[in-house]
């Protein structure tokens, strides 16, 4: 059952017609003095208890707000018992405008497990996607449209209403405290001596506007007023509008040679990724976007480059391993931060989308937000559950939303009231029992890391391990296009058989065929698990880095699967245990026992099963589409 919470105007009646035609059940909650239907339930603003009771009794799970609701002064509202309970919280936001109040009510409904939805879910016919009128805009009208869009982009979300009138490059009217009708009447006075219609009315949703509760609306009366004022036409944002009495509007517009026209504003997104895994995640999220709807710039790698996204510089230029590496390259990093901030401010994005690399990304975002009004979403949450939890205070100030890979992370960000949502990990497929009998008994995957600094640290240890294993094995080394030559140069001097893979298809194939994988802890572990290869995790950093970091780390394990399971599902050999002897002994133990190999895979499948098979990219993209 749907509840329609109705205000004044024709909008509610249009929705009634469509829902009746589709035979969708609904109830009408009327907040006005005027009668809308015989079956309506009359409510006054402030009767929150009666509202919640009505919704519960009618088993309403969805609510649509329709029509204009006139906000009375706080003194004139008659609160019921439930209303008085929320009065202190309501008082704080009452003077901040209708938008804030409606958002407050939506949150109250959400707590009652009632979802506020847009009319477009059931009534798409009320939204304009094409250009129906016979009369079309002139070149001058198009120039005026650009001026209006630029003005909207310059102002913060609360500075403007939804309407601007521009006439031959002059801004004539801006909706503020007054409504659209008021600025049309003002233009009529300005235009009374002219014979030719040249001005345009542009109606655009505010920045950060919630489309579930408010969309720019025009109807027959708006068209009539525009004709009377001498306006040439109306621009509406494609798919983000409401048009009432569509047929009547078209007939009148065609008769009087006035247009109403849909335009598309490309949303600008600035992507920041810090290493190959982040580049891969970002490309998965935006792979299904339409280039007509979005314009991108990025700090990224090969995956984003392959999508045709302009890359300002390769993310390998900001990828360093350990504190000592960062200190040695600190001036290079600062130069890259300064350059990124400058380019981002010039680009004026609607959204900064950062993936991982929080130390670099957050510094950029913080400085950009001081200069321009933009949103910032972050994917792959900083590990505040592992160390430096107080970072959450800064995150709350600069990040508008965080997308979480794992369900256990949510409680940590909820604690600091940071907007977040669990979306899962896009690298996971549906996990099933693996049959290790289909593995290539002669292949082992060796993963020293994706960064050059990691390979320099880990490869010498792993080479010595290989020498202690059977000579008949072929060793698979996953790599990136950036580290391929460096890895090849270091491997070709040895007499064991090896293959290096750089593309995803080859990596996945070789992981799926490997009887065992020895991998440095990181995102690569998830790729290995996805392909059901038995896994040993290793990790070693410089002694100085280890001594500096160790006191602040709050988790027992480094592999994310072990952290989720809160036990060592995948064997870990960390720091002082990460020796040639211990790694080779454990590897030989696995290789000589098929039951142990199968158990390794079965154990991590159980741990991962609770959050596998997620449509992560769709969840993130839908959130972006809805909120920018």
Cα gap 377→203, rounded to integer Å: 27
Provide the pLDDT for residue 554: 67
Note whether 88 and 165 are same-domain residues. Answer: no
Rounded to 10 degrees, the C-alpha dihedral 331/334/336/338 comes to: -140
Q: Is residue 335 domain-shared with residue 407, that is, in the same domain?
A: yes
Chunked in runs of 10, what are the mean pLDDT values of the chain (628 residues)? 90 91 93 87 90 94 87 80 86 72 85 88 85 89 90 64 89 79 88 81 77 80 93 90 90 93 86 88 86 86 91 84 72 92 93 92 95 93 77 91 87 91 70 52 90 89 93 91 90 92 90 93 85 92 79 76 84 93 94 90 77 67 84
Helix (H, G, I), strand (E, B) or coil at 96: coil
Of 123, 148, 163, the domain-final residue: 123
> Same structural domain for residues 496 and 589?
yes
504 and 555 together in one domain:
yes
What is the C-alpha to C-alpha distance for residues 401 and 52, in angstroms, rounded to an integer? 29
Verify that 90 and 144 share a domain, yes or no: no
The residue length of the chain stands at 628
CATH of the domain at 246: 3.40.140.80
State whether 603 and 621 are in the same domain. Answer: no
CATH number at residue 336: 3.40.50.2000
Check: pTM over 0.75? Answer yes or no: no
C-alpha span between 361 and 395 (Å, rounded):
11
Please check whether residues 284 and 424 belong to one and the same domain. Answer: yes
Count of structural domains, the chain: 4
Looking at the fold, whether 202 and 337 belong to one and the same domain comes out as: no
Residue 414 in tokens: 């909820």
Distance CA 531, CA 537 (A): 16
Claim to verify: residue 193 and residue 306 sit in the same structural domain:
no
Judgement on whether residues 282 and 240 belong to the same structural domain of the protein = no
CA distance 616 to 45: 39
For tokens 């979802």, the residue is 115
Judged by DSSP in three states, 440 sits in strand
Domain housing 567: 436-611
Which residue in 484, 563, 492 sits closest to 521, CA to CA?
A: 563
Q: Across-strand partners of 163?
A: 203
DSSP, res 68:
B
Tokens, residue 175: 């909706």
d(CA 285, CA 619): 9
Do 437 and 623 contact (CB within 8 A), yes or no?
A: no
d(CA 360, CA 298): 14
Q: What is the 3-state secondary structure (H, E, C) of 161-179?
A: CCEEEEECCEEEEECCCCC
The reply to whether 247 and 390 lie within a common domain is no
Contact 450, 522 (CB under 8 A): yes
Torsion of CA 412, 414, 415, 417, to 10 degrees: 130
Same domain, 108 and 131: no
């Amino acid at each position: 059952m749907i509840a329609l919470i109705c205000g004044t105007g024709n909008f509610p009646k249009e929705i009634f017609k469509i829902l009746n035609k589709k035979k969708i059940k609904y109830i009408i909650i009327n907040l006005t003095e005027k009668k809308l239907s015989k079956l309506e339930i009359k409510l006054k603003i402030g009767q929150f208890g009666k509202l919640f009771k009505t919704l519960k009794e009618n088993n309403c799970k969805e609510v649509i707000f329709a029509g204009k609701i006139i906000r009375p002064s706080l003194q004139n509202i008659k609160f019921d018992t439930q209303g008085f309970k929320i009065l202190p919280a309501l008082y704080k936001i009452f003077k901040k405008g209708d938008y804030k109040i409606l958002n407050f009510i939506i949150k109250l409904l959400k707590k009652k497990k009632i979802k506020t939805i847009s009319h477009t879910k059931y009534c798409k016919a009320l939204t304009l996607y094409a250009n129906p009128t016979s009369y079309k805009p002139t070149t001058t009208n198009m120039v005026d449209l650009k001026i209006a869009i630029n003005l909207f982009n310059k102002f913060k979300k609360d500075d403007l209403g939804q309407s601007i009138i521009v006439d031959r490059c002059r801004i004539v009217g801006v909706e503020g405290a007054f409504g659209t009708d008021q600025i049309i009447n003002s233009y009529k006075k300005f235009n009374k001596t002219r014979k030719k219609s040249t001005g345009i009315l542009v109606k655009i949703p505010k920045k950060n506007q919630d489309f579930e509760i408010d969309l720019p609306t025009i109807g027959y009366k708006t068209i009539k007023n525009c004709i009377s004022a001498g306006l040439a036409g109306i621009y509406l944002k494609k798919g983000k509008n409401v048009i009432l009495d569509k047929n009547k509007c078209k007939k009148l517009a065609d008769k009087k040679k006035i247009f109403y026209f849909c335009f598309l504003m490309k949303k600008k997104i600035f992507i920041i990724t810090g290493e190959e895994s982040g580049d891969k995640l970002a490309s998965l999220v935006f792979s299904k976007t339409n280039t007509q709807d979005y314009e991108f710039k990025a700090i990224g790698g090969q995956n984003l480059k392959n999508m045709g996204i302009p890359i300002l510089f390769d993310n390998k230029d900001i990828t360093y391993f350990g504190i000592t590496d960062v200190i040695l390259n600190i001036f290079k990093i600062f130069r890259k931060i300064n350059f990124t901030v400058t380019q981002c401010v010039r680009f004026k994005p609607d959204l900064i989308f950062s993936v991982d690399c929080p130390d670099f990304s957050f510094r950029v975002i913080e400085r950009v937000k001081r200069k321009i009004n933009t949103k910032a979403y972050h994917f792959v949450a900083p590990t505040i559950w592992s160390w430096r939890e107080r970072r959450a205070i800064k995150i709350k100030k600069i990040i508008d939303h965080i997308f979480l890979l794992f369900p256990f992370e949510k409680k940590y960000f909820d604690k600091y009231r940071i907007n977040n949502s669990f979306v899962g990990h896009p690298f996971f497929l549906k996990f099933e029992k693996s049959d290790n009998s289909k593995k290539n008994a002669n292949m082992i995957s060796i993963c020293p890391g994706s960064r050059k600094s990691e390979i320099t640290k880990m490869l010498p240890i792993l080479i010595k391990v290989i020498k202690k294993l059977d000579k008949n094995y072929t060793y698979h080394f996953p790599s990136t296009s950036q580290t391929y030559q460096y890895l090849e140069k270091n491997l070709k001097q040895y007499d064991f058989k090896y293959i290096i893979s750089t593309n995803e298809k080859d990596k996945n194939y070789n992981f799926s065929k490997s009887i065992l994988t020895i991998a440095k802890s990181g995102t690569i572990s998830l790729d290995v698990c996805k392909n059901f290869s038995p896994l040993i995790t290793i990790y070693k950093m410089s002694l100085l880095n280890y001594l500096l970091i160790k006191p602040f780390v709050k988790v027992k394990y480094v592999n994310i699967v072990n952290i989720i399971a809160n036990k060592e599902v995948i064997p870990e050999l960390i720091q002082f245990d990460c020796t040639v002897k211990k790694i080779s002994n454990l590897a030989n133990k696995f290789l000589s026992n098929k039951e142990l190999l199968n158990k390794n895979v079965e154990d991590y499948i159980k741990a991962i099963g609770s959050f596998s098979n997620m449509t992560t990219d769709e969840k993130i993209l839908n959130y972006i589409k809805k909120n920018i």
